[in-house]
Amino acid sequence: MRDASGEFGGLENVPKMAITMGVGTIMKAKKVILMAWGEKKGSIIAKTLESPISDQCPATFLQRHHNCEFVIDEAAASELTRTKKPWLVCNDIKWTKQLIKKAVINLCFEVKKPILKLTSKDYIDHGLINLVKQYETANKVNIEVFNQVQHTITGWPGGKPNVDDLTRPERNSPFPKTTLVFSPHPDDDVLHMGGTLARLVEQGNNVHVVYQTTGNIAVTDDYVIQELDLCINFATLMNIDAAKLEELKELRQLFVIRQPGEVHSQDILQYKTSVLESESRAACRFLKIPEENIHFLRMPFYETGMIQKKSLSNEDIESVVKIMREVKPHQIFAAGDLVDPHGTHYLCLEAIVRALNIVDQDDWFKDCYIWLYRGAQYEWELEKIDMAVQLSPSELDIKNKAIYRHGSQCNFPAFPGEFRQNAEKRNRNNAVLYDKLGMAEYEAIEAFARYHFKHGDYLIKP
């Protein structure tokens, strides 16, 4: 039930019973079609197709069905051997730079050695003899990949001025940079790149934060009632007009009588929106981001009052185009996490990509880097990381304090999950993984992949 709580707006709203179908009934079907999409399904798809048949995973019995077809997307296939370790199933594999990095990193964790300690025997024993042949020696492979990983690490996410930037993720000029950070929900910016945000501001960059959606359905009624009680108490102390005080009490009553799962009214949505926007301003204020650099798009596709959203409209795309052309950034940060259970991150990134197809001929865009952060559900795979921003203990503490400004999500989450703890855990785990590869030991790391936009790119074909 806890796994499903996010889909029902809280553990208390999850149905106590559901209709299921037994394995025996499924196996009698003339044909079975299993559909799955998204990285969240990756592990169970791999287990279903590649693990021994077991009662512990009933889906494995489908291996015995005489007419079973799996229809899955690339993300759901991410844990299959042919995707995760293609060198084990393909003889004429084309070794790209990223695939070499992936193979060596995978080997490090299998043999429990840092990159520079890998031997020819390690490569041969794990099906990577062709890679060694291509580089002549294991040591040459090791040095190549070690340098690749090491060059992703930086303490200057906006670029460091007056230094050689040949092996750095970001350019040394122009400096300072104008940075545009897109946040799908009002807390995604601090959750997934709060340390990087703090560093960008501290180092003198002109940072703008854009909150794409209101996120209003993520505020629980209980939290709003608590906030309204505070408003009513203040209004009473200040002898506010009796009619206005009565309006506040009537608004409070709307939340008291609202039934779980009931569609939000416009009044309720507006109040919940104001709660989240005030929290976003508080987090930005703590990080010393100027008030005039905080932007709320309130993208229309989100405003249904339900988990199910509308399709993107021209109004959604134009709002993104407008802010891009207004700010003219040297670098853009956006959420690249496409496994958000409600699809908001996916649609927000699609809006950005479609906007890029409109602005890509603008002069400012020719000098713009695009960085994608993750962490809402999963972290970037190590081979896909292009910039790793290392955080000290004090910087991780700053990030956590910024997250705590989002009280509605820390204390009364509508979609349960220890978001702050999970974000910190992923950041710390990144540092542990880099350490195991032979890099310096850091407290935490926020990871980014660079997106090389090409005109005509879309997530969803229009």
CB atoms within 10 A of CB 427: 26
Q: Say how far residue 298 (Cα) sits from the centre of its chain.
A: 19
Tokens of 423: 């974000």
Which of 397, 376, 394, 391 has its CA nearest to residue 430? 391
- Res 43: pLDDT: 92
3-state secondary structure 228-240: HHHHHHHHHHCCC
- Res 1: pLDDT: 58
Query: Taking a C-beta distance cutoff of 8 angstroms, is the pair 380, 461 a contact?
Result: no
- Integer Cα distance of 387 and 384 in angstroms: 9
Q: Which stretches of the chain score pLDDT less than 50?
A: none
- Res 250: pLDDT: 83
3-state SS assignment for residue 391: strand
Sorted by where each starts, the structural domains of the chain and their CATH numbers stand as 5-72 (no CATH), 85-150 (no CATH), 174-219+260-450 (3.40.50.10320)
Query: Taking a C-beta distance cutoff of 8 angstroms, is the pair 9, 415 a contact?
Result: yes
Which of 95, 215, 89, 188 has its CA nearest to residue 144? 95
- Res 47: pLDDT: 95
Rounded to two decimals, the pTM is 0.87
Tokens of 34: 């299993």
What confidence tens digit (pLDDT) does each residue in 210-223 have?
999 998 888 888 88
- Res 460: pLDDT: 63
- Res 8: pLDDT: 62
Tokens of 164: 């050689």
- Integer Cα distance of 77 and 45 in angstroms: 7
Residue 211, beta-bridge partner list: 183, 296
